[in-house]
Amino acid sequence: MKASVEQVAKIGIFASLSRTELERLQEHTVICSYRQGEVVMYEGDRIPEKLYTLLSGSLRVAKTAAAGKETILRTLFQGDIFAAPALLGNGIAPATVTAETDVEVLTTEREFLLAAIRENPEIALRILAVFNQRLQQLHETVHGLVSERAIVRLARFIHYFAVEQGTKMANNSVCLEKHFPYYQIARSIGITYEECVRLFKKLKPFVSYSRGGKIIVLDWKKLEDIASGDEID
């Protein structure tokens, strides 16, 4: 089905469009629904020339090495755009995208997106800003894998998702809204499942981890210190 004008307007890169421009673009959109665990696209797939935007839910983006080891590159949330090669590259999916929850993905035909960009070049600048930020994050991740201790990467992972996805208070402590199983964290920061379990035990005075991936920050200042590279006392 087509997206509504209101749904298109909520996408960050289209924020500067007029009502008329939004209506024109809306005619060339499609919303696809995926159930939790369903694959949106596989690494190596040829993907149609469209802009892909996550309307609701969360997606996991991962690559699989020749030996079969999966590495989670990032988690996408509402409003995120993805599958850049469909717009700017060779049209081959660089990673496998899987629905972590039930999701809705909005696609916009490339031809009509380009027409909108010709009328409002700021759209292109916003798209480039998003992909530039992703590139910087990738550089930071690679640098971290090479030069930083695993416990620093874990602390940064917790801190990042606390800031980006929100928290709630639980018994005077900060509880992350999103839950993360050990395997997901391990694959995101380049360590084994067993090492992830061991590191959480080391962080126990400052961070609580419980069944189902619930993470509670008991000492926010200490978490920030560790994420900055300080040693644990």
pLDDT tens per residue, range 58-111: 999 998 877 777 888 888 998 899 988 888 888 899 899 999 999 999 999 999
Q: Kindly tell me if the per-residue pLDDT of 170 is higher than 90.
A: no
The strands making up 59-64's β-sheet, listed across from edge to edge, are 39-41, 96-99, 59-64, 70-76
Query: What's the rounded Cα separation, in Å, for the pair 76 and 57?
Result: 9
In three-state form (DSSP H/G/I as H, E/B as E, the rest C), the secondary structure along 169-181 is EECCEEEECCCCC
Strand partners, 173: 170
Query: What's the rounded Cα separation, in Å, for the pair 15 and 163?
Result: 23
Contact (Cβ atoms closer than 8 angstroms) between residue 61 and residue 54: no
Whole-number pLDDT of residue 18? 87
Whole-number pLDDT of residue 142? 63
Kindly state the tokens that stand for 63: 């690559």
Mean pLDDT score, 211-225: 90
Whole-number pLDDT of residue 148? 66
Whole-number pLDDT of residue 149? 85
pLDDT tens digit string along 4-37?
888 888 888 888 888 888 888 889 999 999 999 9
Q: Kindly tell me if the per-residue pLDDT of 189 is higher than 90.
A: no
Q: Is the dihedral of CA 81, 86, 88, 93 positive or negative?
A: positive
Neighbours of 10 (CB within 10 A): 15
Q: Which residue has the higher pLDDT, 99 or 144?
A: 99
Which H or E run includes 208?
strand 207-210
Mean pLDDT score, 46-56: 92
Question: pTM of the predicted model, to two decimals?
Answer: 0.69
Query: What's the rounded Cα separation, in Å, for the pair 137 and 74?
Result: 10
